[in-house]
Amino acid sequence: MKLQEFTASAHNFEECMKCTICTAYCPVVPVNPRYPGPKQAGPDGERLRLKDPYFFNQALKYCLNCKRCEVVCPSGVKVADIIQSARIRYDHTPPRLRDRVLANTDFMGRLARPFAPIVNGVTSLGVTKTVLDVTFAIDRHRTFPKYSGRSFEGWLKRRAKEQAKFPKQVAYFHGCYANYNYPQLGKDFVKVMNALGIGVQLLEKEKCCGVALIANGMSQKAARNAGQNVQALQKAVDAGLTVLTTSSTCTMTLRDEYPELLKVDNASVRDSVILATRYIYQLIESGAAQLRFKENYRARIAYHMPCHLEKLGWGIFSYELLKMIPGVEFTLLDSNCCGISGTYGFKKENYEASQAIGKPLFDQIRSVNPDFVACDCETCKWQLEMSTGYTVKNPISILAEALED
Amino acid sequence: MRFDTVIIGGGLAGLTAGISLQEAGQKVAIVSAGQNAMHFFSGNFEEIGTARERVSALFASAGVRTHSSDGWMLMPMGSMREVSLTLDDVAVFPDKHVAEKALIVNYTGFHDFYGTFLAEALEKNGTTCRIRFVRIPEMEHLRLSPSEMRSVNIARVMDEHWEKVVSDIRVLLKDEDLILLPQVFGLKDLSVLDKIRTAFPARVAFIGTMPPSVPGIRTQMLLKRRFEVLGGTFLMGDEVTSAAMHEGIVSSVTTRNLDTARLFADHFILATGGYFSKGLVSTPTLVNEPLFGLDIDYPEDRNAWYDPDFFADQPYLNFGVKTDESLRAVKDGVPLQNLYAIGSILGNTRKADYGSAAGLAIRTAFAVADTIKGGNV
Ligand SMILES: Cc1cc2nc3c(=O)[nH]c(=O)nc-3n(C[C@H](O)[C@H](O)[C@H](O)COP(=O)(O)OP(=O)(O)OC[C@H]3O[C@@H](n4cnc5c(N)ncnc54)[C@H](O)[C@@H]3O)c2cc1C
Ligand code: SF4
Ligand code: SF4
């Protein structure tokens, strides 16, 4: 029936009871007056858009896709999915060059890697920053993530034989960040897994998970990546491997954004894609393996749970693992968004909002004054390091440095 | 994952129990599927009874200020309600005649505060009222989208710019002895309440708005924070999907997000709320408790579930899960040994012992926390 077409939605907007709780918790609403807020942009707007796409509002691009609205909604409305799906469906403006550059994290990584010292040098120059700012609208305050001269994939390939010797095996979805920007994270991961008696393999072919492509209006390309990744994951799963990750956002994208936003079926692999901290925690808890830590390890750690990990509900595994390390003095930071949200905060037009969103978190970190901050997300790391001056480490790297030699 | 107690539902009941147990040194996890009835809270803890002092102390340790004295509270539509324990936000009056003259101040374009209803009601009790509107530039952006002129959004602006509103009101105030303002203050910065109260020669009363409730949200945030500071684990936005039971004992529960990482505990507390929070679910033919399938007494004839008179006491509000003396939940006629039910999920089944509304949530939470603590000694 025709009526159905106008009222039914894949993302259950009909269940909204108009309580505005989502709006109360949305980090963008208080800092950006142009953003209509989750209730208006999500379920309210959806009702109108289903009647006539004319009602699509460009201001939906201000949504961070942080999913905080979904976490608090008492009715289980997939508010952020409604908003992001609307952007995919109705926004046909071609992405500008700047957004293409920011979004193609793997392509940029491959391009930049051989010239890493030059690229790093150039992007950190004041002049370059000004040029990027003026011609590209990438905010000059941002420090560009450094590119590593050697990729993690190359490093692990050279050690494939040695890794294959371990009786137990897992596959690793390293993501663009560990591959191009910070291979040390991948190496730390391998060190921890090896200490647990587990060898690490690469996926046969890993593509960027696509989160930045979705955010920048390139969902078709994201869907192509998703299709290829699901194939690669399937091969690993068929070979009996669990696929571990060290980035909370890649994990959420692979598990939830593929079916919800990109309509790519991942049902046969979804449950096998797991954040490493969760896997390790469960392994240790079941008694199947142990980690031995340095006796003299001491650290005062403040843990920031990234939005997407809060959405996954798995932050508990990361911080419980950290608490297991003897000598750790632990503080759980309040639930707040850091404001960067992937490529969002890099854009000149979002810089101020991005910093205003993160302010309560920055302030709390300063008042706790830890030795360093722990966090499972690479873009939070850039934001927090730039904005507070404190070092931010992935929990996996912390485990690696605390391991007994 | 192992805990001493796992609480299902993070509303007023779940958090009160969680804080009490965590304070007693237990390791507690609360699983909560989204926010709860506190976001609609009027500020009045109904039927608090004998738990008044104990809960004031517990809240004080969380930074939640309460006001414990008998009197009258002015409701959003102008009616007066008898109260004994309220959040500090609420102005408590000794009788129904609240003032000689009242100045009612609203924000231009804010439709969730009913100045005219308030004025009509107050004038019946002998208070002369004047209604005036203020607008400040810092709030203009809320007007861009008509649905965003809501209490919480205004409160966020007020946390920073309350002084501007105060100076506007100073100009408006004549010889009134009472100023009525919508309750949109102190979302994050509680000190704003006192600053406004002491800014005028007249008494200031904050009156509830349509939801969401600013003091309710603040209270929820402070209680959750207290629970976490005490070392409690709050799993926000997660949902218990099933439970493992054997011979009348619950051994673990499974959540949507943690799936294979089940939560094991010695004790489980069910604080999933009433129909509003889906702790109770009604279909055209049944009323049930969806997680454990606990016993609920209700008439078979659906027509007996409700009274066609909308304002009458509704029978369906009485339905709730059955419990034994110590609030252990009953399934198939037998109490489960380590599953307790507290708060709205009880309906009015234990009204005689524990009251209803917020009083029920708090009093049953204390009772069960005491039982669990007692058992551990
Ligand atoms: C709209 C409204 C306004 C009210 N205002 C007042 C007032 O002003 N004064 C007063 O005294 N009383 C008031 N009440 C009565 C109110 O019920 C109590 O005050 C009290 O807040 C109820 O607390 P609770 O913890 O029992 O339930 P709730 O606050 O409903 O909390 C239940 C929680 O359990 C969660 N949950 C449900 N199922 C699951 C699951 N499977 N897994 C995990 N979590 C789950 C829900 O998401 C929710 O967060 C009001 C009730 C409502 C509905
Ligand atoms: S929190 Fe959920 S139910 Fe409430 S307005 Fe937002 S989407 Fe609707
Ligand atoms: S996803 Fe985040 S930014 Fe977007 S509407 Fe929801 S809470 Fe706001």
CATH number at residue A388: 3.40.50
**Which of B257, B260, B263 should we substitute to test contact with A (largest number of A Cβ atoms within 10 Å)?**
B257
What is the number of the ligand closest to the CA of B237? 1
Taking the centre of ligand 1 as the mean of its atom positions, its distance from the CA of residue B362, in whole angstroms, is: 11
Identify the band that residue B188 occupies on the pLDDT scale cut at 50, 70 and 90: confident
Is pLDDT above 60 for A117?
Answer: no
Q: Chain B partners of A38 at a C-beta cutoff of 8 Å?
A: none
Q: pLDDT tens across B75-128, in order?
A: 999 999 999 999 999 999 999 999 999 999 999 989 999 999 999 999 999 999
At residue A116, the pLDDT reads 60
Least confident of A191-195, A342-346, B208-212, B233-237: A342-346
- Would A15 be classed as within a structural domain? yes
Identify the weakest region by mean pLDDT among A114-123, A370-379, B257-266, B346-355: A114-123
Regarding predicted confidence, which is higher, B149 or A320? A320
pLDDT for res A1 = 42
- Does residue A329 sit at the B interface (CB-CB below 8 Å)? no
Do residue A24 and residue B217 have CB atoms under 8 angstroms apart?
A: yes
The token duo for B289 is 């408790």
pLDDT band (50, 70, 90) for residue A136:
low
Does the residue A159 lie in any domain? no
Residue spans in chain B of domains classed CATH 3.50.50.60: 2-42+217-373
A242, two tokens: 């669990």
Helix (H, G, I), strand (E, B) or coil at A34: coil
> Which residue of A18, A31, A71 is the best one to mutate when testing the B interface, meaning the one whose CB has the most B CBs within 10 A?
A71
Residue A80, ligand 3, Cβ within 6 A? yes
**Quick check: A6 pLDDT over 70?**
no
Percent of chain A at pLDDT exceeding 90? 60
Q: Is the CB of A29 less than 8 angstroms away from the CB of B148?
A: yes
- Residue B376 has a pLDDT of 47
pTM: 0.91
Instruction: Give A38 Cα–ligand 2 centroid separation in angstroms.
Output: 8
Report whether pLDDT(A216) > 90: no
Among protein residues, the one whose CA lies closest to atom 8 of ligand 3 = A26
Mean pLDDT of B300-307: 89
Q: Domain of residue A30: give its range.
A: 8-90
Q: Is B83 helix (H, G, I), strand (E, B) or coil?
A: strand
Cα of A128 to nearest chain B Cα, Å: 35
Q: Is the torsion defined by CA of A359, A364, A369, A375 positive or negative?
A: negative
CATH number at A14 reads 1.10.1060.10
Q: State how far residue B110 is from chain A, nearest Cα, in angstroms.
A: 15
Tally the domains of chain A: 2
Q: Does A48 touch chain B (CB under 8 A)?
A: no
Mutate to test the pocket of ligand 1, among B275, B280, B344 (most ligand atoms within 8 A of CB): B344
Please choose from A11, A79, A81, A83 the residue to mutate so as to test ligand 2's pocket, defined by most ligand atoms within 8 A of CB: A79
The preferred substitution site among B77, B234, B239, B277 for testing ligand 1, maximizing ligand atoms within 8 Å of CB, is B277
Percent of chain A, pLDDT > 70?
A: 85
Confidence at residue A138, expressed as pLDDT on a 0 to 100 scale: 66
Lowest-confidence range among A143-147, A268-272, B178-182, B356-360? A143-147
**Average pLDDT, stretch B358-374?**
97
Mutate to test the interface with A, among B258, B262, B281, B344 (most CBs of A within 10 A): B258
Q: Which CATH class is domain B2-42+217-373?
A: alpha beta
CA separation (Å) from A21 to A79, B62, B109? 11, 22, 20
User: Checking DSSP bridges between strand B128-134 and strand B101-107, what pairing results, if any?
Assistant: parallel
Q: β-strand A198-202 against A243-245: which pairing, if any? A: unpaired
Q: Is the CB of B291 under 6 A from ligand 1?
A: yes
pLDDT tens profile A228-258: 999 999 999 999 999 999 999 999 999 999 9
Q: Which of B112, B148, B223 has the highest number of chain A CBs within 10 A, making it the mutation to test binding with A?
A: B148
Residues of chain B positioned with their CB less than 8 A from the CB of A36 = 144-145, 147-148
Could you read off the pLDDT of A50-63 as tens digits, one per residue?
A: 888 888 888 888 99
Q: What residue spans of A286-377 are helical by DSSP H?
A: 307-312, 315-324, 351-368
pLDDT given for residue A130 in this prediction: 58
Q: How does the average pLDDT of chain A come out, rounded? A: 87
The predicted model gives A359-388 an average pLDDT of: 95
Q: Which residue of B has its CA nearest to A309?
A: B257
Identify which has the larger pLDDT, A397 or A216.
Answer: A397
Report which of A203, A131, A215 is spatially closest to residue A169, judged by C-alpha positions: A203
ipTM, two decimals: 0.84
Q: Which of A189-193, B191-195, B291-295, B307-311 comes out lowest in average pLDDT?
A: B307-311
pLDDT bucket at B266, cuts 50 / 70 / 90: very high
Of A21, A278, A335, the CB nearest to B35: A21
In a domain, A218, yes or no: no
Domain covering B97-211: architecture: 3-Layer(aba) Sandwich (3.40)
Candidate from A121-135, B155-169, B172-186 with smallest mean pLDDT: A121-135
Position with higher pLDDT, A89 vs B16: B16
At B377, the pLDDT band (50, 70, 90 cuts) reads very low
Last residue of a domain, one of A39, A73, A90: A90
Average pLDDT value for residue range A331-352: 84
φ/ψ of residue A269, rounded to 5: -120, -15
Per-residue pLDDT reduced to its tens digit, B36-58: 899 899 999 999 999 999 999 99
pLDDT per position as a tens digit, A263-306: 999 999 999 999 999 999 999 999 999 999 999 999 999 999 99
Q: CA nearest B257: which of A38, A252, A260?
A: A252
**Confidence at residue A112, expressed as pLDDT on a 0 to 100 scale:** 56
Q: Which range is least confidently modeled, A30-44, A165-179, A294-308, B214-228?
A: A30-44
pLDDT of A133 strictly over 80 = no
Give me A132's structure tokens: 């990027």
| pLDDT of B355 | 94
Is the per-residue pLDDT at A2 higher than 60? no
pLDDT of residue B326: 96
CA distance to partner chain A, nearest, from residue B102 (Å): 30
Which residue out of B183, B209, B272 has the highest number of ligand 1 atoms within 8 Å of its CB and is therefore the one to mutate? B272
A&B contacts, CB < 8 Å:
92
In the predicted structure, residue A47 carries a pLDDT above the cut 90: no
Single residue among A90, A115, A143 that ends a domain in this structure: A90
Residue of B nearest to A35 (CA): B145
Cα B125 to chain centroid distance, Å, stands at: 29
What φ, ψ does residue A249 adopt, rounded to 5°?
A: -70, -45
Q: Which two tokens stand for residue A106?
A: 């793997």
**For residue A73, which residues of chain B lie inside 8 Å, CB to CB?**
34-35
pLDDT of A86 > 50? The answer is yes
Pick the more confident residue, A172 or A132. Answer: A172
Secondary element (H or E) of residue A164: helix A160-164
**Tokens matching residue A245:** 């990750």
**Per-residue pLDDT reduced to its tens digit, A13-37:** 888 888 888 888 899 988 888 888 8
Give the residue, B375 or A25, on which the prediction is more confident. Answer: A25
- Chain A residue nearest residue B216, CA to CA: A21
Tell whether A42 lies on the interface with B, counting CB pairs under 8 A.
no
- Where a domain ends, among A90, A115, A132? A90
Q: What are phi and psi of A392, to 5 degrees?
A: -120, 130
